[in-house]
Amino acid sequence: MDGINIKGVQKTSMIDYPGNIVSTVFLSRCNFRCPFCHNPELVFDEVKDDVDVGEFLSYLESKKGWLDGICITGGEPTLHLGLKGFMQKVKQLGMKIKLDTNGTAPEIMKELIEENLVDYIAMDIKASLENYETVVNVAVDKDKIMQSIELLKLGKVDYEFRTTAVPDLFDNEEAHSIGKMVKGAKKYSLQQFRNSDKVLDKSYQDKEPYLAPELQRFAKIIEDYVENVEIRGID
Ligand code: SF4
């Protein structure tokens, strides 16, 4: 299929789409450069072979009744011109779709919501607006980030906002500022940072993650702004 580069598929996931069994689809390229990113090979499009889209759709068809749907992640999926066409094909199979995005393309998100092509959107909030560019290491149209937030808050599709709590990039002040940005949202997830030698910026590979009580303290701050705050990635 033109305009979409699937670089990997995890055939079965019980954790990528809350409450659903899905296949997770990894798309290449990203317009951000988060230092803690765990998928730099996707961001820089270093994965050589594309997954055949037709074969993947046949696989999905064969799993109807077993799989609830797919999760589309990246990289940044909205950079792919063929995203909508691909989602239409998955919807024709009667499957649900969750989309992970960094929120830089509100106009695409709006179109997908209006055309009932997406069932759940998880949008990353990388930082407070003041610190966005420092965290993602590129110039950011912050109006678009806020437009995406406001769009999701309308509640026309299930959604969550989420932030990875990376030491040095996230603290009490950031928690307050991000809380204000997403104020009134239904759901927010604070994700534990995982260090590994895979991260995009190697100076983060040995960075110690926050301890659970620290994440709980941040979550408490955000609870002043959001109804349902979840912490992910701690035991
Ligand atoms: S963490 Fe997400 S938004 Fe950031 S560079 Fe990686 S894929 Fe892009």
Q: Contact at 8 Å (CB) between 125 and 162?
A: yes
Q: Can the peptide bond before residue 75 be classed as cis, meaning omega within 30 degrees of 0?
A: yes
**Is the residue at 95 inside a domain?**
yes
Residues 6+ apart with CB under 8 A from 130: 177
**The predicted structure's pLDDT at residue 23:** 98
**Is the residue at 36 inside a domain?**
yes
Q: Contact at 8 Å (CB) between 90 and 60?
A: yes
The CB of 75 under 6 Å from ligand 1? The reply is yes
The CB of 102 under 6 Å from ligand 1? The reply is yes
The CB of 27 under 6 Å from ligand 1? The reply is no
Report which residue type is found at 127. A
Domain that holds residue 116: 6-232
The CB of 76 under 6 Å from ligand 1? The reply is yes
**Is the residue at 220 inside a domain?**
yes
Tokens of residue 199, six digits:
């991260």
User: Per-residue pLDDT for 8 more than 90?
Assistant: yes
**The predicted structure's pLDDT at residue 49:** 86
Q: How far apart are CA 175 and CA 164, in angstroms?
A: 11
Radius of gyration of the chain (CA): 17
Average pLDDT of the chain to the nearest whole number: 96
What is the domain-level CATH number for residue 31?
Answer: 3.20.20.70
Distance from the CA of 36 to the center of ligand 1, in angstroms? 8
**Is the residue at 1 inside a domain?**
no
Distance from the CA of 126 to the center of ligand 1, in angstroms? 9
Whole-model pTM: value is 0.97
The percentage of residues in the chain with a pLDDT greater than 90, rounded to a whole number, is 97
**Is the residue at 104 inside a domain?**
yes
Distance from the CA of 62 to the center of ligand 1, in angstroms? 31
Residue 127 sits at φ, ψ, to 5 deg, of: -175, 175
User: Per-residue pLDDT for 1 more than 80?
Assistant: no
Distance from the CA of 29 to the center of ligand 1, in angstroms? 9
**Is the residue at 185 inside a domain?**
yes
User: Per-residue pLDDT for 235 more than 80?
Assistant: no
User: Per-residue pLDDT for 48 more than 90?
Assistant: no
What's the whole-number mean pLDDT along residues 126-130?
A: 98
pLDDT tens digits along 165-176: 999 999 999 999
**Is the residue at 31 inside a domain?**
yes
**The predicted structure's pLDDT at residue 188:** 98
What's the whole-number mean pLDDT along residues 88-92?
A: 98
**The predicted structure's pLDDT at residue 52:** 95
Domain count, the chain: 1
What's the whole-number mean pLDDT along residues 37-53?
A: 93
User: Per-residue pLDDT for 71 more than 90?
Assistant: yes
**The predicted structure's pLDDT at residue 47:** 87
**Is the residue at 217 inside a domain?**
yes
Q: Where are the alpha helices (DSSP H) in the chain?
A: 40-43, 53-62, 83-92, 106-114, 132-136, 142-153, 172-181, 212-223
